[in-house]
Chain A
Amino acid sequence: MIKNWHPMYTLALVIGLLALYPMFFGQFMNFGVATLLLAGFALSWDILGGWTGQNSLGHAAFVGVGAYTVTLLAERGVHPVLGALIGAALSSLLAWGWGAATFRLRGSYFTLSTIAVAEIIRLIILNESWLTGGAEGKFMPDLPKIFGFDLFDRKVEYYMVLLFVLLVLLFTHWMRYSRMGFYFKAVREDEDGAMALGVNPNKAKQLAFVCSAAFTGLGGAMYAIFLQAFEPETFLLIAFSIQVALLAIIGGRGTIYGPLVGAFLIAVPSEIFRDQLKEANLLVYGILIVVIVIYLPKGILGSLEYWAYRKNHPLEKGKV
């Protein structure tokens, strides 16, 4: 191992490599932006799911709130950057109320409640067509250029999304070594045990949920700009929420980079095989998930971390 390796070096390396993508794969920009966005959603999901252990299957709602907010505000002449920030703020506000109502539930009961709340939000957006355009969806109006950059240029979008991913990763890094991160993990491992040490589990979960939702909302706003036209079914269905959660779980929850690894590992083969295998593509996706869940229950990065730990701390034979 290299001595004195600062965690920030890894971050710089990862972001640096991702920044090179448009130079080598310029013809696959749609794929690049979409995958990076998915990675960003999975990373945001992990703040709640990986660190406090609360599995949400309703994160699509925050993507929706971010997407609709930026679009509706842009129609009324609000600058997209401001619109995205308002979208993030509305998402976290929603998460705050959502958490206050549902964090009394533990484990899978909480997960079930997230499906219900997300479904309520989908139905509201679908039916309040005077505001949201209903089932017909929305078109993104022309957006002003930012510092001369056209927001509908795929390369500009790619770097915008990369900035979003960097933001989430910086937050996770900071959290990893702060009191907040430790409290989150304590809640994940054992709520009663955490309480005995002065941790308020509901407050911790609430905080994680609000942060996770804010980032997801911000990504949602970028998603709307990327799509330019979307309808509720584009991302408000539960399938989207499940996909985001799966990417994080497959990559390795609570490992900082796990969700990013998960997003690329799943997206790349399914993109490569899309033409050859057509519908069977989903089969590859499914098999991959089954294999990883059976053989690498900690996820890809989680298992790697465990092997590294095991190497440094071999099991003592004969001792319990």
Chain B
Amino acid sequence: MVAAKHPVLLVALPLVFAAFCPVLAMWKKSACFPWALAGVSATTFLAWSLIGKVSPRGAVAYNLGGWKPPWGIQIRIDYVGLLMICLVTALGPLLVLYSYRYVQHELKPERVPYYYTLFLLVFTAMIGFTITGDLFNMFVFMEIFSIASYALVAITGAREAVRAAFKYLLMGATSSLTVLLAIAFLYSATGSLNMLDISIRLKTTPYVPVAAVALVLFVAGFSVKAALFPVHVWLPDAHSIAPAPVSALLSALVIKMGVIGLFRAIFTIYGPTFATRSSTWSSLAGVISWLAVASILIGAVLAIIQKDFKVMIAYSSVVHIGYILLGLMVLTQEGTAGGLFDILAHAMGKACFFLVAGIFIYKGERRQLRELRGLGRTMPVTAGAFAIAALSIVGMPPTAGFMAKFYILWGCIQGGRYYFVVLALLGSLLTAVYCFRVVYYLFFTGARMPDARIDEGPATMYIPAALLALGTVFFGVFANLLIPSLNTAARVILAK
């Protein structure tokens, strides 16, 4: 297929669509939506055609401009990369479709083309970020999606939106600089920018302390992007104030890029063998797993005390980043597989949450939790989607969230970390408190006689939400579709 031979198209295609979006807007503003949808869908088609082409050790590789690595930029799609691009491209069309009516409602018409352009840019850069094999290229993509995200948070132009975007920008820029510094250090230590090449050189050349410093900087920088406690403070503002589809994009995918960054640094570049050379590696893994547990517990408590629906959901993302990183950092095969699976589970569940929150805002500016009373009776599909996604976020069977949690906990037990099991289960109880509270408001309270003025909302909005909710159930029941591959990927990662 085309994509397997020329994976660069995965980045080039949406980039072209993004570039021509403002041009198209000069001719006709209303053309931006179909244009963006076409671009995203075409990329989805390309990305999904790669399924089955990637094997655990033999990644799909492509040398840009024919330059061989380590001199040229290489695109390498491994299991994790494939998982991420499939996820990004699965969510992309749904979010664009959802944006259509929401953006009409929330943005001034002249800003709509910017919205779709920025959306496409974030989309492009996320794909690029996950599939590139070159460290500096990765940084460039990171900057693209970060800067586009700042702009998307501020796109309404409202005062608090600008303030939240500025806070996001300050922390994001600091983290980007930290990562850049790390790249520079690593380059000075190894003389290479290709990730595979660096990992080989780290093994074969004598150990230099700069490499360990670079690792610490990587972790510090990407932790901010991932919104790990205690550097999560930008997230609740940015994610709650952004327009709903942007919140979904940021929460479901953009913060996952921070996780992927951590993953690339810790596993792809350094790898468990680095632990034999410097104790930094293992101690960092330990620190991150404890911070992850702190994220779970503190994030959940903060989510519980919120009164604003979207802020609550935003804090919930902090919780789940904790679960994902806990899974990845217990350094067992099952834990890693569970962490990767939770990326998928959380992306679907959280995107659904934000889309539902957006529908409630669209239909009458309902942002407070107590304003949601009884909406389950008038908006059964929307509220039902929320309820199902809530099961997944809490980790109840038969949803993807449960399978992910099961694996993560199992990984913790395999690694002998019983205290993490206890703490993680405690976290899921707290998660149940804030998620089921909303389900309770939606379905079991409120007036007997429904308000006739409220109905379901546009189909382009509730169908994406419902599909995401069904997705969590699908991947919960048929977890076996993915888990063997993730297990293999985890084994390869940890066997280095």
Do these two chains interact? no
Point out residues on B near A: beta carbons under 8 Å: none
Point out residues on A near B: beta carbons under 8 Å: none
